[in-house]
Amino acid sequence: MKPLTTLLFAAVLAVATVRAGCTGSQTAHYAASPAGERFECPFTDVWVSRRAPETVSGRRMQWWTMTVRKKDGSLFAVRALSERAPMAGQDGPGRIVRYQFLPAGGRTALEYVDDSTGQALLPGEYDFVRDFLPRPSPDARFRDGWASSGELLGHPLTRSSGPAPALDFRPLKTLRIRTDFVIGTGRTFRDDGTGRPLPDGDYTYVPWTREDYEQMLDAGFNYFAVSSPDLRAWLLEQPAFVALGTGIVYPDDLYRSNVLTANMFIDEPMVRMGWTGGIPVSPSGPEQVAEALRKRVAAHYTLRDRLFSPGTGLEGTLDLVRPKAPSWETEFWSAWYQLQAGAPGIVHEGRYVQRGYGWEPERLVGEGLEGLTKTDMFNFYYAFLRGAARSFGGHWGTSLYGHSDRELRVPAPIRWGRATCGSGRRTTSTICPSRSSCASRAPSPATRAATPVPLRTSCCDRRRQASPSRRAMPSRGTAHGGWSAKS
């Protein structure tokens, strides 16, 4: 019984060490190694330090800092206030109430706040706490309140010794970004204001300047792509989400709460199935077309197309799967089949006119319907979208194209907003002057109703998402901008 007693006593001591970790040393150093022969670890050292616990709103919280040295010798760091420090126990950091990031070579540290809730805004596309913060290995031993081994970003960490670099989180700039109402555009240019030669000419486009971005920020925009490498660093320090696409600096940029990597939407699966011959030859029943559509939608969500790869082996053992993108579709009646196939949401390509583009009540139910109102029309369209979203737990939205009658452009999103109250999730995304360019500033509702430039807008809400991480950059050659709101 003596060996068993000794083991039990040792286990009790180990548990006591974990729970009393805050009484140990204040800094732990870890050396990083590649996950395997085919992998390359992008960093060499990690330091985790902590301060004495404090009481915040009646809860015991603790400030801690993680400093990472990359292979090129540069340093970046995160600082957070949470229930516990990472690597100090198997329970992880717990609730994080403040989050800050100090970029490599940066002079300004950034604190991210969800302006919709006042809470800390964390990077949200992936499992941030599990994969982007260090965590102990299952069999780690704890000495001086720190784990002997663990992992970070899919690579192993081994407790070592070495002086921690001195970093300063001053000055600190706070970025307050709304997640319940997003206005943005996925293009980085605008027309130069000279118009276009008719009937078949195109606009002349110019890239956005810093002044253009500042005007959009002042107008409430908070979602952008980067128009020029010279503006990248500046834009990342603005209160807006930034779709970097393939221009990700790994792993640094994934610690920025305002950086997005996912696509904005999949492009018209129902319409394109007709264009590309995807409809079965001589179908004998609607179920055959429906199944072809479901497969067309599901094909967009295969893992091979959604995996985010920062480089050969850099991600270690992580499988970084980008979120699914909603469908952008003209054929509104296909919403049920698309969400049934796995689309997280659908946005209707709205071409709202008195009659046409799917709104043809006389052909559906007969004559004598001259008294139908624009509200009746919107209710007709939105019923298909909302019904599918309710049934499959998805989100839904609408958009405005230049084909829409001017007097219907403002009522469309207004009715969308009212139709979604208490009904499920809705999604918005876009304002554009054409299918190939995007406005440089957000027009007022009155301007949108009177402008001679055709507008493209869309609206969406993602109630299930705690961050805007799922809102991402367009993947086709169309301009997009717009707004998102939670119901």
The Cα–Cα gap between 259 and 189 comes to 20
The Cα–Cα gap between 399 and 457 comes to 4
Answer yes or no: are the C-beta atoms of 313 and 34 closer than 8 Å.
yes
Neighbours of 465 (CB within 10 A): 18
Exposure of 257 by Cβ count < 10 A (0-12 exposed, 13-18 middle, 19+ buried)? Answer: buried
DSSP bridge pairs for 225 = 243
The Cα–Cα gap between 83 and 85 comes to 7
Beta strands 241-243 and 223-225 are parallel
Name the stretches of the chain with pLDDT < 50.
1-22, 422-487
Answer yes or no: are the C-beta atoms of 234 and 210 closer than 8 Å.
yes
Amino acid at 402: G
Q: What is the pLDDT of residue 364?
A: 81
Q: Quote the strand ranges of 390-434, DSSP E.
A: 395-400, 425-428
The Cα–Cα gap between 453 and 342 comes to 35
Amino acid at 342: G
Q: What is the pLDDT of residue 24?
A: 63
Dihedrals phi, psi of 241, to nearest 5 degrees: -80, 145
pTM above 0.85, yes or no: no
Contacts of 167 (CB under 8 A, 6+ apart): 65, 67, 75, 77, 102
Dihedrals phi, psi of 150, to nearest 5 degrees: 180, -155
Q: What is the pLDDT of residue 223?
A: 85
Neighbours of 247 (CB within 10 A): 13
Amino acid at 443: P
Q: What is the pLDDT of residue 421?
A: 60
Q: Could you give the C-alpha distances from 71 to 29, 152, 160, 293, in angstroms and in order? A: 16, 15, 17, 47
Within the chain, what is the greatest distance between any pair of CA atoms?
Answer: 94
Contacts of 127 (CB under 8 A, 6+ apart): none
pLDDT, tens digit, 9 for 90 and up, residues 224-262: 989 999 999 999 999 999 988 778 999 999 999 999 988
Q: What is the pLDDT of residue 401?
A: 76
Q: What is the pLDDT of residue 343?
A: 97
Domain boundaries in the chain?
23-172, 178-485
**Helix, coil or strand: residue 239:** coil
pLDDT, tens digit, 9 for 90 and up, residues 135-164: 999 999 999 999 999 999 999 999 999 899
Answer yes or no: are the C-beta atoms of 183 and 221 closer than 8 Å.
yes
